[in-house]
Amino acid sequence: MPLDTHHVADVTVPTTFIWSTDDIAITRAGPARCAQHVSGPYRYVEVAGGTHWIPEEFPQVVADAVIEQVGAVNSDISS
């Protein structure tokens, strides 16, 4: 059954998509398609050699991405 995306609103909040090159569950098309449905700030982080379990394998990459996103949002709010 195809997904009818005409009834789904774009994501308007800041979004970070962290994807790994050896992910067997999500292809490279995932981040590209995600970006098409985000009207707010969108950031793509690619992890070379990671699998589907990025938080377990690369916790510092995930933490850095979260900290950077929060920092960007905070600076936008205070401007």
pLDDT in tens, 37-67: 999 999 999 999 999 999 999 999 999 999 9
Computed on alpha carbons and rounded to an integer, the radius of gyration of the chain in Å comes to: 14
Question: Which residues partner with 19 through β-bridges?
Answer: 46
DSSP H or E segment with residue 16:
strand 15-20
For 17-35, write each residue's pLDDT tens digit: 999 999 999 999 999 899 9
First to last CA, the chain: 45
Nearest to 48 by CA among 39, 38, 61, 36: 61
39 or 8, which is more confident: 39
- Asked if the model's pLDDT at residue 5 lies above 70, the reply is no
Six-digit token pair at 67?
């900290």
